[in-house]
Amino acid sequence: MEKNSEQIIRTEYSEIMQKSYIDYAMSVIISRALPDVRDGLKPVQRRTLYDMHELGIRFDRPYRKCARIVGDTMGKYHPHGDSSIYEALVVMAQEFKKGLPLVDGHGNFGSIEGDGAAAMRYTEARLQKITQEAFLGDLDKDVVNFLPNFDETEKEPEVLPVRLPNLLVNGSEGIAVGMVTSIPPHNLGEVVDAVIATIGKGDLTTQELMQYVQGPDFPTGGIVVNKDDLLQIYETGTGKLRLRGKVSIEQAKGGKENLVISEIPYTMMGANIGKFLNDVAGLVESKKTTDIVDISNQSSKDGIRIVLELRKNADTENLINMLYKKTRLEDTFGVNMLAVVDGRPETLSLKKIIEHHIDFQFEVNTRKYRTLLEKELQRQEIQEGLIKACDVIDLIIEILRGSKNQKQARECLINGITEDIKFKSRASQKQAAQLHFTEAQATAILEMRLYKLIGLEIEALMKEHEKTLKNIATYQDLLNNYDSMAKLIVKELKALKKEYARERKTLVENAAEAVFEEKKVEEMEVFFLMDRFGYARCVDAPTFERNREAALAESKYVISCMNTDKICVFTDLGNQHIIKVLDVPFGKFRDKGKPIDNFCNYDGSKELIVYAQSMQKVKMSVLVFGTELGMVKQVEGSEFDVAKRTIAATKLQEEDRLLSVSCLGEAQTCVFRTAQGMCLRIQIKDIPQKKKGAIGVRGIRLNEGDRVENIYYPDSSWDNTILYREKEVHLDKLKIGNRDTKGTKIRV
């Protein structure tokens, strides 16, 4: 019987977990999320472009279906799902995301306003001209290493031989495990100038490089307003850019003015444009500004155009500052220039990225011209053999006619072996014995066609030989002389800049912090009214007094507060929602109001309101919490004065619900009444004070299947009488008992 070949390795589980997680993290970092500093591409982008190159989808050929490209890329190089490949393909074709689009898309490839691209079966694509020339042009010259693909059936390039500093030109964004890269796009012409200056002048400082690179150049335009911070960002590779949209003032009819937003911050692309419009509408609805009459989004394929129509004599400067301060018209872009360098993630400065690019260019060009030199030397060898053969062509013909087979003729041409070959004369045999062509030359001679013996063909061969010798001298000079190679790289960069450089779109400047004068709200006393359906409104004090009876009869909650205050709403799920009184509609008494879920995160389909009170009163009080399972506690009201719109006001046990919240007044006792008719009156001083995150203590001990239905606080504000199954119960006459007891049964 064969022994089991498996081995059991005993090790710490934590060590296995740690090793596995590190392996996974590095795989995500290197193989998916981060770009390579050399070509500025992530693996999925590199593989997609290479696959398009292999399929022959060039810039001067017809478009091909994106589904074909995605399927081929996934099957050959990137087995991580079609959605990631198609998304990468779409982004590389979107002019509003890439400073230099690498793919020419045909069909619906989405819009700057966040519309997604059509399905891959509908869209088509091909390579851009610059991608073909500057990214994939020299792959056949052994300029980069090729690696096996995931199943070792194909070869793929380790990196593309990109001739431009693509990492800076197009930027990159990606989230890995424990790290993130965020590199803004830059102007192609400026970056090329910085590379050329570094090659020509040597070791430049970041400050000197910034004479060429003004700053990021986003395809959406806009303004970078913290120019003084750029030096620090480019030196460290990290920092924050402050971006603003471009706003201009247009004259309208009747002496009015319009604010026109023609460029937006790069971070505002997509759904954030709709959010911006909603935020502006919110400023109008909340009366933060009364200067805006109408908002219209007139954007088209020609560009962004958002128009804000203003009332006459509006304070435009103050309004623009408000938009910068209160909306995403001014936003921050976090810079973290993280890329893969020699297989490791590294945060890079502007100088380092340019230096890595130059090193890569010298490496690629060295490999390119070494390959070309080898081919020219081989061509020289064959050409010299053919020229020599033309001089003794009659002898070679005699050797071929006298040989029995090709091998015999080859041996004679290479080694001068004349045995068994019939010659016309002894002189010819003696001359043949002196031949010593190389193997390559002999093969070329044997494969040479007779028309090559025409005079003009021989002349063309001589010219071709001269050209080959010239190429060899050029390539050897490039490989042996740093200055010659540097001149060639600079020449190529200048040619690319001349053809593909575009004017800068983003303005870089220093601008003061946006400051606006917010209209001060006139403080006044109001009454917050909310009915049992959750509809809320506010009325002023005189209006309430005139309609007091109707207000008390129709409203479940009537709260006196200031219009600058907040309302705390506690629900049976233990949540506290905060409503700003200014957000609640203010008007006439008979106005219906709006559901409170318009002003906070309350969800009426899942939770019920158990208590509502003004923040001013809550934070000055002590609150008593009681639940259906009889848990109670006291909490300092100041704990609920928070900035968040929703917090957990208390912790609840499983299957328990918050039943009662009350701000303590003059009441000294509280009474629990259960569904089964048990009553327990305890002193409030026996209820301990806890934090809001605590469950509390047991106030009443419940019988099996019983639950607390009501908690009362007897005081002088009411007659302290309740009805239980049509029987009156006088709460202040109940005997005071101990906490955590069952209490007494109400006799019906």
If you write DSSP's letter for every residue of 109-166 in order, what string do you get? ---TTSPPPPPTTT-EEEE-HHHHHHTSTTGGGT-S-EEE-TTSSSEEESS---SS-H
Q: Is the pLDDT of residue 519 over 70?
A: no
Q: Is the pLDDT of residue 5 over 70?
A: no
Measure the CA–CA gap between 322 and 283, rounded to whole angstroms: 9
Inter-residue contact 672 to 700 (CB < 8 Å)? yes
List active site positions: 122
Q: Is the pLDDT of residue 66 over 90?
A: yes
In 698-719, which positions are buried (b, 16+ CB within 10 angstroms) versus exposed (e)? ebbebeeebbbeebbbbeeeee
Of 447, 338, 431, which Cα lies nearest the Cα of 382? 447
- Residue 105: the pLDDT is 95
- Structure confidence at residue 30 as a pLDDT band (50, 70, 90): low
Contacts with 89 (C-beta within 8 Å, 6 or more apart), sequence order: 48, 66, 69, 70, 103, 125
Measure the CA–CA gap between 739 and 748, rounded to whole angstroms: 24
Percent over 70 (pLDDT), the chain: 96
Mean of pLDDT values over 503-522: 81
Measure the CA–CA gap between 680 and 711, rounded to whole angstroms: 10
- What one-character DSSP code corresponds to residue 32? I
Measure the CA–CA gap between 258 and 248, rounded to whole angstroms: 8
Q: 677: phi > 0 → left, psi -120 to 50 → alpha, else beta; which?
A: left
Q: Is the pLDDT of residue 76 over 60?
A: yes
Work out the mean pLDDT of the chain and round it to a whole number: 90
Q: What predicted TM-score, i.e. pTM, was given to this entire model?
A: 0.74
- Residue 480: the pLDDT is 94
Q: Is the dihedral of CA 119, 120, 124, 125 positive or negative?
A: positive
Q: Render pLDDT for 585-620 as a digit per residue (tens, 0 to 9).
A: 888 888 888 899 988 999 988 999 999 999 999 999
Q: Is the pLDDT of residue 196 over 60?
A: yes
Inter-residue contact 261 to 306 (CB < 8 Å)? yes
Alpha carbon 426 to chain centroid distance?
Answer: 84
Please measure the distance between the N-terminal and C-terminal CA atoms of the chain and give it in whole angstroms: 84
Percent over 90 (pLDDT), the chain: 62
- Structure confidence at residue 1 as a pLDDT band (50, 70, 90): very low
- Structure confidence at residue 44 as a pLDDT band (50, 70, 90): very high
Residue 730, classified by CB atoms within 10 Å of its CB into exposed (0-12), middle (13-18) or buried (19+), is exposed
Sequence letter at residue 453 = L
Contacts with 14 (C-beta within 8 Å, 6 or more apart), sequence order: none
Mean of pLDDT values over 680-706: 93
> Helix, strand or coil for residue 696?
coil
- Strand 708-712 to 721-724 pairing: unpaired
Q: Render pLDDT for 427-455 as a digit per residue (tens, 0 to 9).
A: 888 888 888 888 888 888 888 876 766 66
Measure the CA–CA gap between 720 and 681, rounded to whole angstroms: 12
Mean of pLDDT values over 152-156: 93
Mean of pLDDT values over 469-498: 94
Q: Is the dihedral of CA 186, 187, 189, 194 positive or negative?
A: negative
Longest distance between any two alpha carbons in the chain, whole Å: 148
Helix or strand (DSSP H, E) at 545? helix 541-546
- Residue 264: the pLDDT is 93
Contacts with 61 (C-beta within 8 Å, 6 or more apart), sequence order: 126
> Helix, strand or coil for residue 526?
strand
In 566-597, which positions are buried (b, 16+ CB within 10 angstroms) versus exposed (e)? bbbbbbbbbbbbbbbbbbbbbeebeeebeebe
Two tokens, residue 282: 């919110």
Q: Is the pLDDT of residue 505 over 60?
A: yes
- Strand 223-224 to 507-508 pairing: parallel
Two tokens, residue 220: 């959406």
Contacts 24+ apart (CB under 8 A), 637-644: 637/663, 639/691, 639/692, 640/568, 640/576, 640/615, 640/692, 641/615, 642/578, 644/578
